[in-house]
Amino acid sequence: MKQSRMLLIALAPFACWGATAEEEALQQQLDLLRQQLIQQNQALHQLQARLEAVKARLEAVKAAGATTATAGVGAGAAVASTQQDASRRTPEVGRSTEDLMIEQHNVFDRALTVDVGLSYQHYNRKDLALRGFLALDAIFLGEINLDRVRSDQWTADVITRYTLNDRWQLELALPYMFRNTNYQSTGKENSSRDFEEQSVSDGGLGDLSLAIYYRVMAESEDWPDLVWNFRAKAPTGKDPYGIEINTSESGNLVTPKELATGNGLWQLSTGFSLVKTMDPAILFASLNYGHSLKQDFDDISYQPGNQPGSIQLGDWYEYGLGVAFALNERFSLSFNINQRVTMESEQGSEGFAMEKVTGSDANAASFGMGSTWAITDNLSMAVNWSAGLTTDAPDYTIGIRFPYRF
């Protein structure tokens, strides 16, 4: 028993030392927590002060602009409602508008578009030639020749458009043409009843063209969609120069032995086109200028044998105006007017100066209608019709196209 007491007395100092160390550790943790609490309280007071300042500023703004804020809320609600309605209509108008853009303008959100088309043009011209004089101011004595030319032209073409990005686009057009022209001449042997007739048919590759388009600016609320274009046309078709002629036995009817499918010259053109959406209408317009490069040919005469010379077709100006309506999500209807004014051409034999060709200028204006129909999500059909308004324009033109988007 005495030994146990002696052992407890000996260990007592060590027990007291352990308790003192634990107490100091707990005291240090408590002091650290107190410091953290003080810092958090300070941060809380700072945030409360900032919050009170912000509330005060908001109250001042609300008090100063209560009327304006109320009007703004009403306008915002109206705009939101309009945007919701527009978003519901977008799928319907979007596809019809896209088809119209392909026909009259450009679309930059399709990587590749292949457009296959077929068109038909009809010309009917009559020329009355009087060679003689009037007797007693009423009776004509001499020759009366009435020449009539009817021309039918079919053109099948493939247009491929490749979009580089939302600004640039390339286009390649490859046409194939078939022409049939009927020539009639009344006045054979000075008879008003007898006439001669001859038909000539020919076909082949036309003049292919390469174009580049650049979107100057996209359509916004105040500005239209504006696109600049540059086109180069290569003389890949059969040119009309040096074609020999056939003359009838009476000498009254003259016809070419073959028909041209191209103009034989390099041509460059540039211009702008724009589109503006004004619900429910879509307005579009274009303006272009073209220039033909001077070209030398081995033969420019219809007479037998070769007569070298140079040809330069006249410059031309062209504009178009139109309006279209997207009637539903897949069908649209458009109306347009186009006019092309061509200056006089020049020609000159080898070794001689160039001279203007009298009567080679032209003024071709037409009024047209068109419609588009979305057959599938990628395939559409476009039908166009136009009537000539001037003597230099085709009497009428009918065309159908099938653009396919990839």
Residue numbers of the domain that contains 399: 83-405
pLDDT at 387: 97
- Tell me the β-bridge partners of 170: 162, 212
User: Going along 249-313, which residue ranges are E strands?
Assistant: 254-256, 267-278, 281-292, 295-297, 309-312
**CA-CA-CA-CA torsion for 327, 329, 330, 336, nearest 10 degrees?**
40
Do 96 and 37 fall within a single domain? no
- Tell me the β-bridge partners of 153: 121, 179
Do 138 and 21 fall within a single domain? no
Per-residue pLDDT band for 6 (boundaries 50, 70, 90) equals low
Per-residue pLDDT band for 85 (boundaries 50, 70, 90) equals very low
Cα separation, 213 vs 81, in Å, equals: 37
Structure-block tokens of residue 62 = 């609300």
Do 124 and 190 fall within a single domain? yes
The answer to whether residue 240 sits within a structural domain is: yes
Per-residue pLDDT band for 339 (boundaries 50, 70, 90) equals very high
Q: How many CB atoms lie within 10 A of CB 192?
A: 11
Do 18 and 160 fall within a single domain? no
Structure-block tokens of residue 165 = 């990005």
Longest dimension (CA), the chain: 177
Give yes or no for residue 37 having a pLDDT over 80: no
Mean per-residue pLDDT, 92-114: 77
What integer best gives the mean pLDDT of the chain? 81
Q: What is the CA radius of gyration of the chain?
A: 42
389, exposed or middle or buried, with CB in 10 Å at 0-12, 13-18, 19+?
A: middle
Pairing type for strands 309-312 and 295-297 reads antiparallel
Cα separation, 95 vs 337, in Å, equals: 24
In the chain, the number of structural domains is 2
Do 258 and 332 fall within a single domain? yes
Do 177 and 326 fall within a single domain? yes
pLDDT tens-digit profile of 232-257? 999 999 998 888 888 877 777 888 88
**CA-CA-CA-CA torsion for 356, 360, 363, 364, nearest 10 degrees?**
-140
Structure-block tokens of residue 394 = 């085709």
Do 301 and 179 fall within a single domain? yes
**Strand, helix or coil at 236?**
coil
CATH number at residue 359: 2.40.128.130
Structure-block tokens of residue 59 = 């109250």
227, exposed or middle or buried, with CB in 10 Å at 0-12, 13-18, 19+?
A: buried
Mean per-residue pLDDT, 72-80: 45
pLDDT at 187: 61
Angle between helices 66-104 and 2-64 (to 10 degrees): 80
pLDDT at 369: 96
- Please give the span between the terminal C-alpha atoms of the chain, in angstroms, as a whole number: 105
Do 11 and 153 fall within a single domain? no
Do 201 and 116 fall within a single domain? yes
pLDDT tens-digit profile of 203-226? 999 999 999 999 999 999 889 999
Out of 28-37, 60-69, 301-310, 329-338, least confident range: 60-69
**Strand, helix or coil at 398?**
strand
Cα separation, 217 vs 272, in Å, equals: 12
Cα separation, 258 vs 238, in Å, equals: 10
The answer to whether residue 366 sits within a structural domain is: yes
The answer to whether residue 78 sits within a structural domain is: no
The answer to whether residue 205 sits within a structural domain is: yes
Mean per-residue pLDDT, 58-67: 63
pLDDT at 384: 95
Do 52 and 163 fall within a single domain? no
If one compares 264 and 34, the residue with the highest pLDDT of the two is 264
**Strand, helix or coil at 299?**
coil
Do residues 252 and 202 touch, judged by C-beta distance below 8 A? no
Give yes or no for residue 114 having a pLDDT over 70: yes
Do residues 273 and 229 touch, judged by C-beta distance below 8 A? yes
Give yes or no for residue 74 having a pLDDT over 50: no
User: Going along 293-343, which residue ranges are E strands?
Assistant: 295-297, 309-312, 316-326, 331-342
Do residues 278 and 252 touch, judged by C-beta distance below 8 A? no
Structure-block tokens of residue 236 = 């890949």
Do 268 and 396 fall within a single domain? yes
Q: Give one word for 280, left, alpha or beta, with left for phi > 0 and alpha for psi -120 to 50.
A: alpha
Do 27 and 141 fall within a single domain? no
Helix then strand then coil, % of the chain, to nearest 5: 25, 50, 25
Mean per-residue pLDDT, 113-117: 95
DSSP structural state of residue 258: S
Count Cα atoms within 13 angstroms, Cβ side, for 15: 6
The answer to whether residue 74 sits within a structural domain is: no
